[in-house]
Amino acid sequence: MLRGGEPFIWLTGGALAFALLMVAGLVGIIVVNALGFFWPASVVRVTLKDGPALTGQIADRERVPGSTESRVKLRIANRDLYGADFVWVDEAKIARREYPAGVVVIERTEWGLLIGTLKDVRDGGASVLSGPAALDELRRRLPDVARLRAEIRRVERSDIGAINQSQEQVRLALRRLELKGVTSGADVDALRARLAGLQARYQVQEARLADLRKRQTGSIVVAADGGKEKELPIAQVIDVFTPNTMSVPAKAWHYVANVWGFVADDPRESNTEGGVFPAIFGTVMMVLIMSLLVTPLGVLAAFYLREYARQGTFVSAVRIAVNNLAGVPSIVFGVFGVGFFIYFVGGSIDRLFHAEALPTPTYGTGGILWASLTLALLTIPVVIVATEEGLAAIPRGMREASLALGATKLETTLRVVLPAVMPSILTGLILAMARAAGEVAPLMITGVVKLAPALPLDGTWPFVHLDRKFMHLGFHIYDVGFQSPNVDAARPMVFATTLLLLVIVICLNLFAIAMRQRLRRTYATAAV
Amino acid sequence: MASAVHVTASLNPAAMPASMMEMPMVEIDHLHLWYGTKVGLKDVTMSVPKHRVTAYIGPSGCGKSTLLRCLNRMNDLVDGVRIEGTVRIGGVDVYDPALDVTELRKRVGMVFQKSNPFPKSIYENVAYGPRILGVKNRGDLDGIVERSLRSAALWDEVSDRLGDSALGLSGGQQQRLCIARAIAVEPDVLLMDEPCSALDPIATAKIEELMLDLKNSYTIVIVTHNMQQAARVSDYTGFMLLGELVEFGVTRELFTSPRDKRTEDYITGRFG
């Protein structure tokens, strides 16, 4: 039996099964935790044997250490009222559990969820409707409130943002003139006049903003456990729902809306709430820029190594060195990125082209371009190795056929070799993208930030802002999971973000794989 | 040394093979070739007549493919090759340093032992050479592709699927496609390096038939392991051994009354 190799077959199968189990377990934990996060869980009111009642959603249940009893983790929310989002309750101490129909869960822009009973809807301090009808009134007002909030945001971001940017440009132009020794004259006066004009426009927008804010008059009163009441401006209410009376389809709809909000919204509350859209955007854009940089560089290098360089000890040494580059810790690449790209290249660009802004750096600080370049450097061995292997697999006869037809080496390379090696290049790119999307360490020092004020791509000239800092899902996971002030509340976000990152990597890879399949059909390589 | 004497003897007008009487297309004069220090070809002198099929036979490693590859300078691609002597094709010195090797290769087409179509469509395979030559007009290309495929007796089989991948063709079709590709640039000489060694007898028969057609327009030089094939398709045959051209002459004479003992041993199968 030993000679027949059956135990060996079991060993190989076992190894594969073990690996699959580990991966499936990891992905399973992520998926379960992430997807559960968006479900509008029912709100339970537990009355304790010693008196007080607690209202909240059950977030977890575990055995009390050193005892046979269990305890539940109750998300009581209302951080502004109670100081903490979660409490542990021993099940033995619970006298009664009920699911009151009137409990509302309010998502708001600050302080996390608010759980309680809606008492009153007020406008300008006067009660409009109270009692059960208040909820309908609140729901009726929410769309207008959301529109108003969006409008305020637009004024703040786009209108005032554009004015700020123009002001900054004029200020820099003035500074440029000053550096040239011009401190008065027609040019300076013109710029000063423009600055004044911009200031006037700013005042107009500011007044408009104040006007919009004044329209946010509504507020609600919510009663919570312990006789506490909270008056909350409706402007802060994002969504309100009553999980205890919702049907399953309604909950499912809410679930979908939550998922969409997570994907499409900006983060709130130092990233522990809201969405992760800027991080998605930053991750994808960085990976794409990196792909644009690494593919030509890696492919050209591989072509030289395999097609033109005289094969020998030196080329072999280069090849080994390139392969080993993949083993260098990524943080080392990050440090190199900081030292070379940011301080040297970026610093030089600043001195040459953006001297007027100094000492504030423009390119001499972390940004999406430098982060992408650093990752391109990090992933270049992958592309080189994959391309080289593809080149080695192209039959000699194919090159000879082209040369024998009178094609030059260059024509042969471009017209026969390159199309044939395209699938291998894409394989390399897939591996490189997967690696880059998941990398965090080098990004932390080359341009990723916790919260970026603006996307690296927007409507203001020159539209693509490669000098901007950006957000990244990998860093977001680290930040929310380990740097957040409210780790308990943020933990589901960590899982959801991880899942999202996995999905993005899979999507990028599927896209590249589909492209490779298409190429394979067109340029199917002959079986050697 | 005996062989050198023989080759010299063959230049004697009295012993001159009939090929010398015809118009020569390729003239090889005292050609030596070394791979590093290893001798590849030893003092080969002969001429290939125009619009005839000339075959090289001989055991493996005797240098017949090397000789063939000297004619379009494919040996240039091998590191450490050194060549002495002259090769003239249509009167032009092939190893003239001033000669553009790509120009030469456009005049001397080649078909390889293993069919090696490009991983492109059938059409693009045939159009590859003309495109390299700068033909861009779609109508011209269409004409060239059809004419070449017809010449290679492949048109009827593929005319309705020119856009399909060439790799979907059978082995014999692929080899005929390679022939079509080679003749699409209208070379003077067509070199064939054991073109049928990977094909079944039916595909082989088709290619042999094709060669007999093609020799009206092209000068064909073929290397083959298969003596029957040489006997069937060639007008002239050269027998090579250990880098020497032992004997060269009209095919029928070479096979029926070889002048050299070694040739006789080889063609009668007593070679060992």
Digit-coded pLDDT (tens) for A71-95:
888 888 888 888 888 888 888 888 8
Joined together, the tokens standing for residue A381 give 């061995």
CB contact under 8 A, A400 and B103: no
Q: What is the reported pLDDT for B1? A: 37
Closest-CA residue of chain B to A523: B119
B183: in domain: yes
CB contact under 8 A, A415 and B109: no
Helix, strand, or coil (residue B165): strand
| β pairing state of B236-241 and B53-57 | parallel
- In chain B, residues with a C-beta closer than 8 Å to the C-beta of A401 are 110, 112, 116-118, 178, 181
| β pairing state of B38-49 and B219-223 | unpaired
Q: What mean pLDDT, rounded, does chain A reach?
A: 86
In chain A, which among 415-434 make CB contacts under 8 A with chain B? 415-416, 419-420
Q: How many CB pairs under 8 A join A and B?
A: 76
- The CA–CA distances, whole Å, from B269 to A9, B248, B255, B257, B261 equal 50, 18, 12, 15, 12
Domain count, chain B: 1
On the question of pLDDT at B221 being above 90, the answer is yes
In chain A, which among 291-320 make CB contacts under 8 A with chain B? none
B33: distance to nearest CA of chain A, Å? 20
Enumerate residues 6+ apart whose C-beta is below 8 A from A121.
Answer: A127, A128, A129, A130, A134, A137, A138, A141, A218, A219, A220, A234
On the question of pLDDT at A160 being above 90, the answer is no
CA dist A169 and A156 (Å) reads 19
CA angle A250/A256/A260 to nearest 5° reads 145
Q: Which DSSP symbol is given to A314?
A: H
Percent of chain A, pLDDT > 90?
20
**Residue A13 binned pLDDT confidence (cut-offs 50, 70, 90):** very high
Q: Which domain holds residue B150?
A: 2-267
- What is the pLDDT averaged over residues A447-461? 81
Q: What is the reported pLDDT for A234? A: 86
Choose from A1-5, A173-177, A373-377, B155-159 the range with maximum mean pLDDT: A373-377
Joined together, the tokens standing for residue A319 give 């090849």
Closest-CA residue of chain A to B70: A404
CB contact under 8 A, B119 and A400: no
pLDDT, one tens digit per residue, over A240-296 is 888 888 889 999 999 999 899 888 888 887 777 888 899 999 999 999 999 999 999
From the number of C-beta atoms within 10 Å of its C-beta (0-12, 13-18, 19+), residue B148 rates as buried
Q: At what angle do helices A473-482 and A277-303 cross, to 10 degrees?
A: 130
Task: For chain B, report the end-to-end CA distance as a whole number of angstroms.
Answer: 21
Enumerate residues 6+ apart whose C-beta is below 8 A from B19.
Answer: B46, B47, B48, B49, B52, B54, B236, B248, B249, B250
Helix, strand, or coil (residue B55): strand
Contact A240, A138 (CB under 8 A): yes
CB contact under 8 A, B112 and A395: no
CA quadruple A368, A370, A374, A379: dihedral, nearest 10: 50
Q: What is the reported pLDDT for B15? A: 43
B272: in domain: no
CB-nearest partner of A397 from B114, B128, B185: B114
User: Can you point out the beta strands (E) in B143-252?
Assistant: 189-193, 219-223, 236-241, 244-250
- In chain A, residues with a C-beta closer than 8 Å to the C-beta of B105 are 403-406
Q: What is the reported pLDDT for B3? A: 40
- Residue to substitute from A405, A408, A525, interface B, most B β-carbons within 10 A: A405
- What is the pLDDT averaged over residues B66-94? 87
CB-nearest partner of A401 from B77, B102, B112: B112
A425: distance to nearest CA of chain B, Å? 16
CB contact under 8 A, B102 and A406: yes
Q: What is the reported pLDDT for A1? A: 63
Closest-CA residue of chain B to A421: B119
Can you give the CATH number for the domain in which B215 is found? 3.40.50.300
**Residue B165 binned pLDDT confidence (cut-offs 50, 70, 90):** confident
CB contact under 8 A, A397 and B112: yes
From the number of C-beta atoms within 10 Å of its C-beta (0-12, 13-18, 19+), residue B257 rates as exposed
On the question of pLDDT at A182 being above 80, the answer is no
Lowest mean pLDDT among A126-140, A364-378, A385-399, B43-57: A126-140
A396: distance to nearest CA of chain B, Å? 9
Contact B250, B17 (CB under 8 A): yes
CA angle B232/B234/B236 to nearest 5° reads 135
B193: in domain: yes
Lowest mean pLDDT among A217-226, A331-340, B126-135, B183-192: A217-226
CB-nearest partner of A401 from B118, B165, B167: B118
